[in-house]
Amino acid sequence: MTVEMIFVGTELLLGNIVNTNARFLSEQCASLGLSVYYQTVVGDNEERLQSILETARERADILLIGGGLGPTEDDMTKETVAKVLGRNLVMDEGSKAHIETYFKGREDAIPENNWKQAMVMEGCTILENANGTAPGLIVETENCRVILLPGPPNELIPMFTDQVRPYLQGLTEEIIVSTMVKVCGIGESQAELMIRDLIDTQDNPTIATYAKTGEVHLRVTARAADEESARGLIGPVVEELQNRFGDNIYTLDENETLEEAVVSLLRNYGLTITTAESCTGGLTGSRLVNVAGASDVYRMGFITYCDEAKHQILHVRQETLDTHTAVSGEAAGEMAEGGAKEAGADVCVAITGYAGPGGGTEDCPAGTVFVSCYAAGEIQTDRLQLSGNRNKIREMATVRALDLARRCILKQYGDR
């Protein structure tokens, strides 16, 4: 079954707010095995909304419409849908009572225009709104099911989760299961080349690739009559991806981030980590700290932006700074070792480089970054040549530093 989404609101067309409802509903539909073909945003304008509705009801099995159910004159979604579907609007006594209850106890009287929200289409199913006054509606027509939802996310999300999702689940026969394979240290183009043959011949399951900053995520999705059969189809494909990407895969858990994978590894081996950052200025530390419960493994970190701080705090030798400069594999290695000792941590990841746009030398142009990891007495240092603006280079460097830490921990402690 195919789904089309329509979001109604001039505030979206003016860029006042981000359309987070689109993402939420799309993710929900994907997990239900429903194919979303189009999302359209249109303003509070009857003519344009009508034109979109007429096109959409011809090409989709399910229409999900968000917004424009409010009490003001601008809000015209329900009226326009009723017109297009040729349905009358009638007062719903239940919705009217709900509005009365909602305003009860408030000092202000019920604004006259709020009663408009209790009008519903003849023959529809009413969706209760626990967090506002506008009810949602489901209207079933011969070719298309039309579902109207209020725009505010704190009303739309619970209404969808509690009432619309079970309704949609009842419509599908097949089960859809997917697994996310998260890869680090390989670019999107390169990753796709490595599995081109799998993608070219895919049918069920399918493999979809998503480029993230410094990462590539591969979603393997299967359809089957039941969950066990779907998982049976996914298994061999995931195994093949593991053969091809090896330890570039950091997790098979959709919800696990790279920093969570690192924190989880550290916790498993009973280790602590620290960070010694120059050009990333604390970004790596902040990502580790973003993991709830990071305090078990991360106790402190160092931002050593100038040379003197690298020398004084991390004990990078003055000779190293003089001979090789602070942007060198030698300095990165000493930062990692010094950071670990200074913090009394088992592992230390260090980052130094030229984030640009200025700086850099002939040998080390802007975008040159050294990431180094100290673990169990050994130091591993990678030289990276990154491109993009200052922020992108710093984010990429942070991802590569976290990934290096992950690999070093696995290498040094993985077999113990």
Q: Taking the complex as a whole, how short is the minimal distance between the CB of residue 392 and its own copies, in angstroms?
A: 5
Q: Which of residues 43-102 bind its own copies (CB under 8 A)?
A: 43, 45, 48, 52, 55, 70-73, 102
One of 160, 250, 298, 354 touching its own copies (CB under 8 A): 298
Could you tell me if 232 and 183 are in contact, meaning their C-beta atoms sit under 8 angstroms apart?
A: no
Does residue 201 touch its own copies according to CB under 8 A?
no
Strands 206-212 and 273-277: unpaired
Does residue 190 touch its own copies according to CB under 8 A?
yes
Q: Taking the complex as a whole, how short is the minimal distance between the CB of residue 121 and its own copies, in angstroms?
A: 22
Q: Which of residues 314-343 bind its own copies (CB under 8 A)?
A: 343
Closest by CA position to 359, among listed 346, 369, 348, 371: 369
Q: Which stretch binds its own copies (CB under 8 A): 84-92, 262-270, 330-338, 382-390?
A: 382-390
What 3-state class would DSSP assign to 333?
helix
Does residue 361 touch its own copies according to CB under 8 A?
no
Does residue 215 touch its own copies according to CB under 8 A?
no
Contacts of 219 (CB under 8 A, 6+ apart): 178, 179, 180, 181, 207, 208, 210
Q: Taking the complex as a whole, how short is the minimal distance between the CB of residue 410 and its own copies, in angstroms?
A: 22
Q: Which is nearer to its own copies, 52 or 138 (CB)?
A: 52
User: Rounded to whole angstroms, how far apart are CA atoms 86 and 50?
Assistant: 12
Chain centre to alpha carbon of residue 312: 40
Does residue 293 touch its own copies according to CB under 8 A?
yes
Backbone angles phi, psi at 178, to 5 degrees: -135, 155
Number of amino acids touching its own copies (CB under 8 A) = 106
Q: Which is nearer to its own copies, 282 or 329 (CB)?
A: 282
One of 198, 216, 294, 373 touching its own copies (CB under 8 A): 294
Does residue 16 touch its own copies according to CB under 8 A?
yes
Task: Classify residue 47 as left (phi > 0), alpha (psi -120 to 50) or beta.
Answer: alpha
Q: Which stretch binds its own copies (CB under 8 A): 164-172, 225-233, 242-250, 355-363?
A: 355-363
Q: Which stretch binds its own copies (CB under 8 A): 83-91, 130-138, 327-335, 373-381?
A: 130-138
**How many CA atoms lie less than 13 Å away from 67 in the CB half-sphere?**
23
Q: Taking the complex as a whole, how short is the minimal distance between the CB of residue 213 and its own copies, in angstroms?
A: 8
Does residue 225 touch its own copies according to CB under 8 A?
no
Does residue 37 touch its own copies according to CB under 8 A?
yes
By CB neighbour count within 10 A (0-12 exposed, 13-18 middle, 19+ buried), where does 259 fall? buried
Does residue 251 touch its own copies according to CB under 8 A?
no
Does residue 270 touch its own copies according to CB under 8 A?
no
Residue 34: DSSP 8-state: P
User: Rounded to whole angstroms, how far apart are CA atoms 254 and 130?
Assistant: 30
Does residue 167 touch its own copies according to CB under 8 A?
no
One of 22, 137, 198, 373 touching its own copies (CB under 8 A): 22
Q: Taking the complex as a whole, how short is the minimal distance between the CB of residue 58 and its own copies, in angstroms?
A: 12
Chain centre to alpha carbon of residue 403: 19
Does residue 289 touch its own copies according to CB under 8 A?
yes
Q: Which of residues 142-161 bind its own copies (CB under 8 A)?
A: 152, 154, 158
User: Rounded to whole angstroms, how far apart are CA atoms 172 and 37?
Assistant: 17
Q: What is the dihedral of CA 36, 42, 48, 51, to 10 degrees?
A: 0
Does residue 115 touch its own copies according to CB under 8 A?
no
Residue 252: DSSP 8-state: S
Q: Which is nearer to its own copies, 10 or 125 (CB)?
A: 10
Closest by CA position to 346, among listed 287, 253, 416, 292: 416
Does residue 41 touch its own copies according to CB under 8 A?
yes
Residue 89: DSSP 8-state: E
Does residue 131 touch its own copies according to CB under 8 A?
yes
What 3-state class would DSSP assign to 219?
strand
Q: Which is nearer to its own copies, 6 or 138 (CB)?
A: 6
The radius of gyration of the chain from alpha carbons, rounded to an integer in Å, stands at: 28
Backbone angles phi, psi at 44, to 5 degrees: -80, 70
Q: Is the dihedral of CA 290, 188, 372, 367 positive or negative?
A: negative
Q: Taking the complex as a whole, how short is the minimal distance between the CB of residue 416 and its own copies, in angstroms?
A: 25
Q: Which stretch binds its own copies (CB under 8 A): 127-135, 138-146, 227-235, 261-269?
A: 127-135
Does residue 253 touch its own copies according to CB under 8 A?
no
User: Rounded to whole angstroms, how far apart are CA atoms 18 and 315?
Assistant: 46
